[in-house]
Amino acid sequence: MGASAKPSTLGELKRSGYRPRSVKDEMRANLIRKLEAGETLFPGIVGYEDSVIPQLVNAILARHNFILLGLRGQAKSRILRQLVDLLDEAIPILAGSEVNDDPFRPISKYGRVKIEERGDEAPIDWVPRENRYVEKLATPDVTIADILGDVDPIKAARGGHLLSDELTIHYGLLPRANRGIFAINELPDLAGKIQVGLFNIMQEGDVQIKGYPVRLPLDVCLVFTANPEDYTARGKIITPLKDRIGAEIATHYPATIEYGIAITRQESWTERAARPVCIPPFVREVVERIAFEARQDPRVDKRSGVSQRVPITTLEIALSNAERRAVVCGERAVVPRLSDLYAALPAITGKLELEYEGELQGKDVVARDLISRACGATFDEYFDESAMEPVVTHFDNGGALQVSDTASADACLQGFQEVPGLLALVRASDLADESQPGVLVAAAELVLEGLVAKRRISRSEGGSYARAKRERPKGPPYGPYGKPPHGGPGGSGSGDLFT
């Protein structure tokens, strides 16, 4: 039905055959239609196909209010905002209604008066689906009036009403979300008395506005998000409210590197207009492994989590560093290397919350260790360490190599030729060929960084590679807590890294 053909009065709406339905029935019906048509339910949500999305579908089919429990950067808000796609394209309301009054069953005094005065001539407005989603970030300063409503003396004065008149109500966000979706992010951050104020709408389906002997039977789907640490009896959630939420759905970080790469590829800004961009697959893999390593590192606070924004912003800054190099060196293509990841340290350190030991070592040290370990894990995917002896022997015999993140690909390749077997190993791996000098350099750096991670050679902060210390401590290959001794690869860069 075109916009011009939509009924504009209550009488026309009746004659059109329109039948109202609750918002949860509406979402349920549209969800079933999408399932039958094989449509993608939540576009852009990657890695939840076998976990979160089936639980969401079940909650919606059951007409439940629900909460998404998860750490930061797990697409909780994006999922909630996509629920709008399960609503009808538009619904009719009484024109001028603040609470989206159903023309057949108005809940506000304004709506009832309008029907009494105008009857079938009461004007109708159509509300598009995007205007039926109301979201509120829970903060300690949110009041009952913000959520439910309160008396409005100015409205009373302008309309000549008594303060006790229902027409003087200033409706809060929840009544204004009537016949739609009301979302609260970080639910436990709401003050306790606000949580109590949600009880009626959760169980009885209505709210009572402060100071008024009226009940508003709202039709609304309530959805929430929260951090699992807060959503417990020991946290800041009130147990009776927790009990009234129909479904508790746990979100999670990508379960595999492949899922993480797909999310980062989708969300990161990598199109640079001036020059073509080529991001080697193994560079993407290293970037993603940084987040995976951080989520397992005991120095990183697990309660805070490691957001998916870490690999996204890391890739963007590493790519920008490569773009800067391409501009300065006059290279045609922008190709990020492993050394560019160290230029992206601000994208990592700003997103890590550290435990006590991590704070003692410092964010830069922890971040450099994470990069090194990610390089080591990716190195194992493509190379055999036993084939690296010619490279290791070169450094053990006193050889050294300086690799600058501002050096052109041709200059780097000239330096790599001085390391016996390095470029031959890269060419044999099929990671790059002579037609891609930038990728060839990146692959050679993967070999060097992988050997650093395994403590076969060492690296300074300035990008100088040399032999490792002869006395290797006992323990796991990457050092206790994932941190190599004496600062190790990507560590302090002090002179005791070399012998």
Q: By mean pLDDT, which of 68-77, 391-400, 465-474 is the weakest?
A: 465-474
Q: Do 498 and 458 contact (CB within 8 A), yes or no?
A: yes
Strand locations in 262-324 (E): none
Residue 3: predicted pLDDT: 47
Residues 214, 216, 219: CA angle, nearest 5 degrees: 175
Q: Do 25 and 91 contact (CB within 8 A), yes or no?
A: no
Helix (H, G, I), strand (E, B) or coil at 328: helix
- Under the banding of pLDDT at 50, 70 and 90, the label for residue 463 is confident
Helix (H, G, I), strand (E, B) or coil at 307: coil
Q: By mean pLDDT, which of 191-200, 270-279, 428-437 is the weakest?
A: 191-200
Q: Specify the CATH architecture of the domain 3-250.
A: 3-Layer(aba) Sandwich (3.40)
Residue 234: predicted pLDDT: 60
Structure tokens at 330: 């006059």
Q: Compute the distance between CA of residue 229 and CA of residue 72 in angstroms, rounded to an integer.
A: 12
Structure-model confidence comparison of residues 386 and 172, the more confident one: 386
Segment 449-465 shows an average pLDDT of: 93
Segment 183-208 shows an average pLDDT of: 82
Residue 155: predicted pLDDT: 63
Statement: residue 144 has pLDDT above 70:
yes
Structure tokens at 168: 């003087």
Statement: residue 483 has pLDDT above 60:
no
Q: By mean pLDDT, which of 307-321, 329-343, 482-496 is the weakest?
A: 482-496
Q: Compute the distance between CA of residue 396 and CA of residue 385 in angstroms, rounded to an integer.
A: 16
- Under the banding of pLDDT at 50, 70 and 90, the label for residue 145 is confident
Structure-model confidence comparison of residues 196 and 426, the more confident one: 426
Segment 479-489 shows an average pLDDT of: 41
- Under the banding of pLDDT at 50, 70 and 90, the label for residue 480 is very low
Residue 432: predicted pLDDT: 83
Neighbour tally for 206: CB within 10 Å: 14
> Running DSSP on this structure, what letter comes out for residue 171?
E
Q: Compute the distance between CA of residue 345 and CA of residue 350 in angstroms, rounded to an integer.
A: 8
Residue 134: predicted pLDDT: 95
Q: By mean pLDDT, which of 141-150, 158-167, 236-245 is the weakest?
A: 158-167
User: Nearest CA to 123 among 92, 95, 96, 90?
Assistant: 95
Strand locations in 66-172 (E): 66-69, 90-94, 124-128, 133-137, 149-151, 169-171
Residue 489: predicted pLDDT: 38
Q: By mean pLDDT, which of 41-55, 186-200, 356-370, 460-474 is the weakest?
A: 460-474
Statement: residue 479 has pLDDT above 60:
no
- H helix count then E strand count, the chain: 22, 12
- Could you tell me whether strands 180-185 and 169-171 are parallel, antiparallel, or unpaired per DSSP bridges? unpaired
Segment 62-86 shows an average pLDDT of: 95
Segment 356-375 shows an average pLDDT of: 94
Residue 478: predicted pLDDT: 47
Residue 159: predicted pLDDT: 58
Strand partners, 93: 125
Residue 498: predicted pLDDT: 25
Strand partners, 207: 216
- Under the banding of pLDDT at 50, 70 and 90, the label for residue 496 is very low
Q: By mean pLDDT, which of 137-146, 222-231, 272-281 is the weakest?
A: 137-146
- Could you tell me whether strands 180-185 and 220-226 are parallel, antiparallel, or unpaired per DSSP bridges? parallel
Q: Compute the distance between CA of residue 274 and CA of residue 3 in angstroms, rounded to an integer.
A: 43
> Residues, the chain, total?
499
Q: Do 87 and 262 contact (CB within 8 A), yes or no?
A: no
- Under the banding of pLDDT at 50, 70 and 90, the label for residue 254 is very high
SS3 content of the chain, % helix, strand, coil (to 5): 45, 10, 40
| CATH 3.40.50.300 domain position(s) in the chain | 3-250
**CA-only gyration radius of the chain, Å:** 30
Residue 215: predicted pLDDT: 76
Q: Do 63 and 105 contact (CB within 8 A), yes or no?
A: no
